[in-house]
């Protein structure tokens, strides 16, 4: 658990060694064509599920679902970033599909994006300080920002009512977005230790440092401090932030979650759930209520939210 979480957050300090532009690695030419390609559509009642892809100037094409409510809008909109639990069948855009469909009748359009781990040919890099780890972070951040470009190009989106929801690695990428892209009104960060400042104070981090090599770890921290996602959530204002953490995690304890949230700008709130890394139905209910308040859409049918299947929590994968 510790090694995987550090790969998703702390080790963002490694890969940009080859990117001398520093934080500008997350920038791109907004005039680059999206080159949106449609791959089909499905419907659940009056809710449209459109399978599409768009170009990412910092990586491979991004596969996504665009969830469309009935009517013409303008709609509130949410971009959803999935978790990266390696042996989950839902470490892809399908993680939040049922939740997005349930929100659509309330006038919410959604874009559910795939991250690199979701690609069929993806092979994990087991080095927690490899260059590729953060190349993927950069790719994820730009995929989210390009997703916002796509939504903002559509007349049915109310550009003043756009939010982002990210789980685990999706929260890590969203944390960077919160500090550099001011188009989002609100962010939900689910079960992710997105602050080096908070993490380096934990005994688990010190054990990781000794295991990997203090000199190697310290060199990255000293040379690339700007890759700490905590520095971005500190600049997220005026967006409203909601942090959701769980009790049943070996590394990402409630105390670490609260310390992470304390780094962030105001307005912010944090809530702890009696749940594993996958979180639970209570977290979903609170998340939906937060989004409805921030984006000013009609709260969805409580029974429809309660009927959403629980995200399965696979066992911790063996090293």
Give the whole-angstrom CA distance, residue 129 versus residue 200: 16
For residue range 195-241, list pLDDT tens digits in order: 888 988 888 889 888 988 998 888 877 776 777 899 999 999 999 99
DSSP state of 93: T
Reported as half-sphere exposure (CB side, CA atoms, 13 A), residue 117 has a value of 25
* Chain centre distance of CA 224: 22
Tens digit of each residue's pLDDT, the chain (319 residues): 333 444 444 433 333 333 434 668 899 999 999 999 999 999 999 999 999 999 999 999 999 999 999 999 999 999 999 999 989 999 999 999 999 999 999 999 999 999 999 999 998 887 767 777 778 889 999 999 999 999 999 999 999 999 999 999 999 999 999 999 999 999 999 999 888 889 888 888 898 889 889 988 888 777 767 778 999 999 999 999 999 999 999 889 999 999 999 999 999 999 999 999 999 999 999 999 999 999 999 999 999 999 999 999 999 876 5
* Residue 261: φ, ψ to 5°: -60, -30
pLDDT digits (tens, 9 = 90+) for 30-67: 999 999 999 999 999 999 999 999 999 999 999 999 99
In order of their start, the domains of the chain are: 2-306 (3.40.50.1820)
Q: How many angstroms separate the Cα of 219 from the Cα of each of 5, 17, 19, 225?
A: 20, 11, 16, 10
Tokens matching residue 11: 């080790």
């Amino acid at each position: 658990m510790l090694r995987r979480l550090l790969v998703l957050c702390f080790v963002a300090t490694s890969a940009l060694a080859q990117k001398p532009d520093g934080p500008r690695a997350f920038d791109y030419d907004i005039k680059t064509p999206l080159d949106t390609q449609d791959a089909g559509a499905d419907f659940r009642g009056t809710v449209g599920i459109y399978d599409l892809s768009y170009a990412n100037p910092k990586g491979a094409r991004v596969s996504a679902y665009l969830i469309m409510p009935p009517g013409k809008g303008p709609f509130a909109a949410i971009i959803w970033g999935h978790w990266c639990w390696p042996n989950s069948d839902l470490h892809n855009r399908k993680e939040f599909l049922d939740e997005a469909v349930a929100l659509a009748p309330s006038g919410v359009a959604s874009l559910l994006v795939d991250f690199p781990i979701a690609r069929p040919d993806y092979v994990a890099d087991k080095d927690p300080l490899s260059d590729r780890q953060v190349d993927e972070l950069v790719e994820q951040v730009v995929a989210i920002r390009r997703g916002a470009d796509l939504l903002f190009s559509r007349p049915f989106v109310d550009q003043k009512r756009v939010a982002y929801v990210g789980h685990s690695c999706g929260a890590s990428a969203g944390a960077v977005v919160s500090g550099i892209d001011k188009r989002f009104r609100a962010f939900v960060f689910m079960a992710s230790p997105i602050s080096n400042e908070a993490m380096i104070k934990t005994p688990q981090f010190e054990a990781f440092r000794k295991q990997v090599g203090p000199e190697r770890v310290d060199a990255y921290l000293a040379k690339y401090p700007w890759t700490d996602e905590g520095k971005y959530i500190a600049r997220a204002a005026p967006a409203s932030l909601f942090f959701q953490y769980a009790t049943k995690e070996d590394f990402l304890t409630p105390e670490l979650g609260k310390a992470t949230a304390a780094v962030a700008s105001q307005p912010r709130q944090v809530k702890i759930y009696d749940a594993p890394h996958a979180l639970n139905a209570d977290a979903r209910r609170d998340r939906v209520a937060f989004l409805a308040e921030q984006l000013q859409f009609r709260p969805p049918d409580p029974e429809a939210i309660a009927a959403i299947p629980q995200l399965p929590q696979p066992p911790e994968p063996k090293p």
